[in-house]
Amino acid sequence: MTLSRSWVESANSASADFPLNNLPCGVFAPGDDDPRCGVAIGDFIVDVRALEEAGLIHVADEPVFKVPFWNEFMELGPDVWNLFRERLTELLHEDAAERELVEPHLYPAGEAEFFMPFIVSGYTDFYAGRHHATNVGTMFRGAENALPPNWLHIPIGYNGRASSVVVSGTEVRRPHGQLKGPNDAAPRFAPCERFDFELEMGAVVGMPSEGMVSVAQADEMIFGYVLLNDWSARDIQAWEYQPLGPFQAKATATTISPWIVMRAALEPFRTPTPPREKELLPYLAEPGPMLYDIGLEIELEPEGRAATVISRTNYSEMYYSAAQQLCHHTTSGCPMDAGDLLGSGTISGAVKESRGSMLELSWGGKEPLTLDSGESRSFLQDGDTVRFRGHAQGDGYRIGFGPCEGKVLPARAL
Amino acid sequence: MTLSRSWVESANSASADFPLNNLPCGVFAPGDDDPRCGVAIGDFIVDVRALEEAGLIHVADEPVFKVPFWNEFMELGPDVWNLFRERLTELLHEDAAERELVEPHLYPAGEAEFFMPFIVSGYTDFYAGRHHATNVGTMFRGAENALPPNWLHIPIGYNGRASSVVVSGTEVRRPHGQLKGPNDAAPRFAPCERFDFELEMGAVVGMPSEGMVSVAQADEMIFGYVLLNDWSARDIQAWEYQPLGPFQAKATATTISPWIVMRAALEPFRTPTPPREKELLPYLAEPGPMLYDIGLEIELEPEGRAATVISRTNYSEMYYSAAQQLCHHTTSGCPMDAGDLLGSGTISGAVKESRGSMLELSWGGKEPLTLDSGESRSFLQDGDTVRFRGHAQGDGYRIGFGPCEGKVLPARAL
C-alpha cells in the first residue's frame, strides 16, 4: 500500500498521522459548539454530522450522526463501515468532484476540543504481553514462578471499570487507597505512592454477540483500535489484589486516544502472533495474522520541563491478539456489546528500553530512570504528563492514533 | 412498624411479599403490551407509567416513566424517591380518595412478563461474607490460610460483567470453558462440570458520584436492594482466577429479582455489622446500622420434581455493608453511576444448612446433598431450577423481593 493523496495538503506528508488511508473516528467540538462525530484528515477534522445533514454521506435510513458518539454507527456492521470509508475517501481524494461541498465542513484540529469517541459499554483489560507478565511475575513471585501456569493457555483478563475510561487530555487525580508495606503491621489510608501507567492498545468492539464466537468472527466484530493508558496504583494493587484481582488500583482512570483507527486502515499491517510454546486449544487458533505492526513510544514530561522518550516498543510483541481475547471472552456465553473496550495488556518488549510501565522500567523502584531534565523517576510524580504515540509505518505514509496523554494531579485533600 | 392497610386486599395478608409498606419497583409488560415501570402491591402491579400519564403522580417537569427502566427516576435523588413513596402510599391506602382513578391501572402480577428493572451501568461483586470466605479459602488454600490477609481490612470486590445481568426467570445456559484438573497435563475445552449458584443481595446505586464519598453518603446513594444469584463455574474459576481474579467463570449470567425494594421500605430492619476482629480504618466506620435483617432461602428444583429448600440464611451475616462497599469503591476516585449494581458476596451462615453455594453445601463435591426427591447433588445439573426467596419480617407483615430464579439449560453444542 502507498499513500492515497488528498486535496487536504497536510494529509499528504509522510509524517502525518492522518492521511487519506487512515480516516480515524473521533468526537470533537469546534470552538464553543456542541460535540459531534468527526474524522481526522491531515491537520483538519471533517464534521461527519454536517456531511450527513448535507446529504454528502448516507449510511442508514435514519440519521446516525445526530448523537455525539460512534456506537450507533458501529452497530450497522462491517459492510457499512467499509462503504463509509469508501465514500469519505471519494470525498477527500485529490481528484474529488465534490471538494467545494466538503470544504466548509473542515475544522482545524488544533482548535478542537475532544470527547470520548464512543460510549464504553464494558471495559475488559487483558494481560497478554509475555515480557510484561514475566517481568511483573518475577518481581512479585520470583523468576521460577513468573508466568502463572494458565498464562500460556488462556488470554488472561479481568473486567475493568467502564465508567473510569476518559479521553486523552483529561487530567488524572492521584488516588487514595489502602497501602500496606510488607513490614507494616496494618494498612493505612493515604495517597498512592507508586502511581504508574501501562502502555496498551485497546480494541473497540463494534458488533454485539450472544453466545460463543470464533476467532475469525471476533476479528470481524472489532471496529478499530485506540491507544490506551491503564493508569495503575501499584501499592494499592499489591495489597488488594489477592484473591479476586485488581480493583481500586485500576479504577481511577483509563485514558484512550481521541481517535479510533478503523480495522480497515490497519489491514496492510497485520502480523502473526509469535510461535506457541505450548499448543493452544483449537478454539483459539487464528485463521490468519491477527496482530498489527504498530510502533509505540512513551514520553514522560515533568511539569515545566522537556519531555523524555522513556520507552519504544511495538504492538506485535503481544502473545495473544484482540481477536483471540474477544473469542475467549465469549466462551462463557458472555454477551458482548457495541462499545465494549478490550485493553491488550501492557506492551513490553524484550529489552529494558522497550518496557511499558514504570514498574518495569524502574524494576519496582530499584533502578530509577534519569530523564533528559536530569530528574529521576521510579514512579509518577504530581505534574508529570504521560504521553503515548503510535503509528503503523506504510510506504511513504503512516497510520497514526494521535497522542494518548494525561497529566497527574495531586491527590485531593480529604 | 406495623402493616399499612391497602384497598388492594391481597396486600394486607401477613404472608404477602408486597404490602403497602413495601412498594418495590420493577418493569413489566401486561399481556402483549410493551414493558413499562410498575410497583407491586399484593397480587397486582400498578402501572406507574399510566399513573404519570393520568397526572396521578408527578415526579419531575418532564415525564420520567416513558422509558421502561428506573434509572431516570433514580437519578432524581432521595427526596423524590420519598415523595414518590408517600404519594403511592396515599393512592393505595385503604382510605384513599382516588381509588377509582387508580384501579384501572392495576394488572394481575400472575399475568405479567418481567423485564430488567434498570439498566445496569456497572456490576461489581464483593466477597463480604466471612463464613463464605472462610469456607472457600479452606477448600482452596487450607484452614490456616483461609482468610486472605487483607480480608479483615478491605471489603474485597472485583468488577463483574454488567451485560450478563438478567432478570429472574431467564434461563441460564451451562457455559463452556477451559477446564484443568490438578492432575491433568493440559487444559481441555468443555462444558462446565461444576456449575453453581451464589446467594447474594444486590445494592442498586441510585445517585452518581465523582470522587470519594463517605459511608454515610454512600448509604444515601443506594436506591434499593434486590436478590442476586451470581452463577459460578467453579472448574473454570479454579483454572483461570490466578492472578487477576474470576472472569469467564462469572460471566455467563447473574440473575436478579424482578423487584427492587427501596431502601426506605427496609429502614425498620436495619442491623449492625458484627464486631470487628481488627479495627477498620476510619474511612470505613459506619455512622449507624447499615445491614438489614432479611431472611433468605434457597430452593433447588430438579426438572419435573418437587423443590427442596437446601439452605436458609440471613443478610445480616455479612461482615461489610453495601454502604461500606460503595464507599471503598470510590476511594480511587472511581465514578459511580445511577444503575450500578453491587453484589454483596455470598451469604453463608455459620452452620452447614445456611451455606450460600453448592461449593460450600457439598464441600467441594465431597459431601453431596440429598434432595427431597431422593436425588443427590454436588453441583447443578441441566434442568435444575435455583430459586431464592427473601423477606424482612415486620410485625404482622413482611417486605419481600419476589423470587429470584433461573433454570439451567444444557450446554450449547459447538
Q: Is the pLDDT of residue A1 over 90?
A: no
- What residues contact A339, with CB distance under 8 A and at least 6 apart? A71, A74, A118, A119, A120, A121, A122, A204, A205
Partner-chain contact A242 B150, CB within 8 Å: yes
Calculate the dihedral angle through the C-alpha atoms of A270, A271, A273, A275, rounding to the nearest 10 degrees. Answer: 150
Q: Is the peptide bond before A335 cis (omega within 30 degrees of 0)?
A: no
Does B292 carry a binding-site annotation? no
C-alpha cell at A178: 489502602
Q: What is the pLDDT of residue B32?
A: 83
How many residues belong to chain A? Answer: 414
Q: Which residues on neighbouring strands pair with residue B342, listed in sequence order?
A: B124, B203
Q: What is the pLDDT of residue B87?
A: 98
* pLDDT grade for A238, boundaries at 50, 70 and 90: very high
Mean pLDDT of A150-175: 98
Q: What is the pLDDT of residue B354?
A: 98
Report the Cα A160 to chain-centroid distance in Å. 14
Chain A residues 17-76 with a CB less than 8 Å from chain B = none
Residue of A nearest to B242 (CA): A148
Kindly compute the dihedral angle of the four CA atoms of residues B166, B169, B171, B177, in this order, to the nearest 10 degrees: 40
Q: Ranked by mean pLDDT, which of B53-57, B139-143, B179-183 comes out on top?
A: B53-57
- Residue of A331, A337, A342 for testing the chain B interface, max B β-carbons within 10 Å: A331
- Residue A198, marked binder: yes
- Band the pLDDT of B373: cuts 50, 70, 90: very high
B160/A159 CB distance under 8 A:
yes
Contacts of A326 in chain B (CB under 8 A): none
- The answer to whether B246 faces chain A, any CB pair under 8 Å, is yes
- As given in the structure block, the three cell numbers for residue A408 are 497527574
Omega prior to A243 cis, within 30 of 0: yes
Across the interface, of B159, B251, B340, the residue whose CB is closest to A334 is B251
pLDDT band per the 50, 70, 90 thresholds, residue A191: very high
8 A C-beta contact, residue A125 and residue A95: no
Predicted confidence at residue B308, as pLDDT, reads 98
Distance from CA of A37 to the nearest CA of B (A): 23
pLDDT of residue B118: 98
* AA letter at B313: T
Q: Does the complex come out with an ipTM higher than 0.90?
A: yes
Nearest to B331 among A140, A246, A248 (CB): A248
pLDDT at B145: 87
Cα separation of A259 and A16, whole Å? Answer: 14
Which residue among B175, B281, B282 sits closest to A331, beta carbon to beta carbon? Answer: B175
Average pLDDT of the segment spanning B118-138: 96
Strand A295-301 relative to strand A308-314, pairing: antiparallel
Give the model's pLDDT for residue A390: 98
CATH assignment, B123-409? 3.90.850.10
Is A350 an interface residue toward B (CB < 8 Å)? no
pLDDT above 90 (res B206): yes
Alpha carbon distance B184, A10 (integer Å):
59
Q: Residue B414: its pLDDT value, please?
A: 82
Task: Judge whether residue B189 has pLDDT over 90.
Answer: yes
3-state SS, residue B218 = helix
Helix (H) / strand (E) element for B135: namely helix B130-141
Is there a binding annotation on residue A230? yes
Instruction: Please answer yes or no on whether A414 and B247 come within 8 Å at the CB atom.
Output: no
Instruction: Please indicate if any CB of chain A lies within 8 Å of the CB of B138.
Output: no
- Band of pLDDT at residue A140, cut at 50, 70 and 90: confident
Cβ pair A175:B331 closer than 8 A = yes
User: Where is pLDDT greater, at B80 or B182?
Assistant: B80
Please judge whether B187 and A253 are an interchain contact, meaning their C-beta atoms are less than 8 angstroms apart.
no
Residues in Cβ contact with A391 at an 8 Å cutoff, skipping those fewer than 6 apart: A17, A294, A295, A398, A399, A400, A401
Residue A32: pLDDT above 90? no
- Per-residue pLDDT, A141: 84
Mean pLDDT of B128-132: 95
Interface contact B245, partner A, CB < 8 A: yes
Exposed (0-12), middle (13-18) or buried (19+): which is A214, by Cβ within 10 Å? middle
**Span(s) in chain B for CATH 2.30.30.230:** 9-115
What pLDDT is recorded for position A22?
98
Q: Tell me the C-alpha to C-alpha distance, in Å, between residue A340 and each of A345, B183, B267.
A: 15, 36, 38
- Among the partner-chain residues A157, A173, A240, the one whose CB lies closest to the CB of B154 is A240
Distance CA A342, CA A322 (A): 7
Q: Is the pLDDT of residue B1 over 90?
A: no
A221 contact B CB<8A: no
- What's the pLDDT score for residue B170? 98
User: Out of A132, A328, A329, A391, which one is annotated catalytic?
Assistant: A132
For residue B140, the model assigns a pLDDT of 81
pLDDT digits (tens, 9 = 90+) for B15-70: 999 999 999 999 999 988 999 999 999 999 999 999 999 999 999 999 999 999 99
Q: Are B139 and B194 in contact (CB under 8 A)?
A: no
Q: Which three cell numbers stand for residue B55?
A: 397526572
8 A C-beta contact, residue B114 and residue B28: yes
| Cell 459511608, located at residue | B215
A107: confidence class by pLDDT, cuts 50, 70, 90: very high
A103 pLDDT above the threshold of 90: yes
Asked if A158 lies within 8 A of B158 by C-beta distance, the reply is yes
For residue B234, which residues of chain A lie inside 8 Å, CB to CB?
none
Q: What is the average per-residue pLDDT within A162-179?
A: 98
Q: What's the grid cell of residue A212? A: 460463543
CB atoms B281 and A189 under 8 Å = yes
Q: What share of chain B is helix, strand, coil (3-state, %, to 5)?
A: 25, 30, 45
CA distance A72 to chain B (A): 17
**Kind plus residue range of the DSSP H or E element containing B309:** strand B308-314
Burial of B263-290, coded b for 16+ CB within 10 Å and e otherwise, reads bbbbeebbbebeeeeeebbebbebeeeb
pLDDT at B85: 98
Query: How is B18-31 classified by DSSP, letter by letter?
Result: --TTT--EEEEEET
| Dihedral (CA of A340, A346, A350, A354) sign | positive
Q: DSSP label at B329?
A: H
The minimal CB distance from B248 to the residues A211, A244, A331 is found for A331
- Tell me how close the Cα of A240 comes to any Cα of chain B, in angstroms: 7
The SS3 assignment for B104 reads helix
* Measured distance CA(B137)–CA(B149) in Å, rounded: 12
pLDDT score recorded for residue B252: 98
pLDDT above 90: residue B391: yes
More confident residue, B182 or A329: A329
Write down the pLDDT at residue B31. 80
Rg of chain B over CA atoms, in angstroms? Answer: 21
Q: Does domain B9-115 have CATH number 2.40.50.140?
A: no
Nine-digit cell at B208?
452518581
- Amino acid symbol at A79: D
B374-412 exposure pattern, b = at least 16 Cβ within 10 A, e = fewer: eeebbbbeeebbbbbbbbbebeebbbbbbbbbbbbeebe
Contacts of A173 in chain B (CB under 8 A): 211, 333
Residues B297-323 have pLDDT tens digits of 999 999 999 999 999 999 999 999 999
> Which residues 265-294 of B are in CB contact (within 8 Å) with A?
278, 281-283
Going by pLDDT thresholds of 50, 70 and 90, the confidence category of residue B409 is very high
Say if residues B354 and B313 touch (Cβ distance below 8 Å). Answer: yes
Going by C-alpha positions, the residue among B331, B260, B289, B268 that lies closest to residue B74 is: B260
Give me the mean pLDDT over the B377-386 stretch.
Answer: 98
DSSP per residue, B32-91: TSPPEEEEEETTEEEEHHHHHHTTS---SSS-STTSSSSHHHHTT-HHHHHHHHHHHHHH
For chain A, give the secondary structure using H, E and C: CECCCECCHHHHCCCCCCCCCCCCEEEEEECCCCCEEEEEECCEEEEHHHHHHCCCCCCCCCCCCCCCCCHHHHCCCHHHHHHHHHHHHHHHECCCCCHHHHHHHEEEHHHEEEECCCCCCCEEEECCCHHHHHHHHHHHHCHHHCCCCCCCCCCCEEECCHHHEEECCCCEECCEEEECCCCCCCCEEEECCCEECCEEEEEEECCCECCCCCHHHHHHHEEEEEEEEECEEHHHHHHHCCCCCCCHHHCCCEEECCCEEEHHHHHHHEECCCCCCCCCCHHHCCCCCCEECCEEEEEEECCCCCCEEEEEEEHHHCCCCHHHHHHHHCCCCCCECCCCEEECCCCCCCCHHHCCCHHHHCCCCCCCEECCCCCEECCCCCCCEEEEEEEEECECCEEECCCEEEEEECCCCC
| Chain A nearest C-alpha distance from B44 (Å) | 33
* Closest-CA residue of chain A to B231: A332
pLDDT cut 70: percent of chain A above it: 100
| Ranges in chain A annotated CATH 3.90.850.10 | 123-409
Cβ of residue A122 closer than 8 Å to a chain B Cβ: yes
Band of the pLDDT at A232, cuts 50, 70, 90? Answer: very high
Cβ–Cβ gap B164/A335 under 8 Å: yes
A159, A234, A284, A409: best to mutate for the B interface, most B CBs within 10 A:
A159
For A370-409, the pLDDT digits (tens) are: 999 999 999 999 999 999 999 999 999 999 999 999 999 9
pLDDT digits (tens, 9 = 90+) for A358-377: 999 999 999 999 999 999 99
Taking one residue from A and the other from B, the number of pairs with CB-CB distance under 8 angstroms is 187
- pLDDT tens per residue, range A266-304: 999 999 999 999 999 999 999 999 999 999 999 999 999
Of A178, A196, A174, nearest in space to A187 by CA:
A178
**Cell numbers given for B350:** 455459620
Distance from A155 to chain B by nearest Cα, in Å?
9
pLDDT of res. B141: 83
Cell of B349: 451462615
Whether B212 and A412 lie within 8 Å, measured CB to CB: yes
CA A239 to chain B, closest CA, distance in angstroms equals 7
- The set of catalytic residues of B is 132
Q: Å from B335 to nearest chain A CA? A: 6
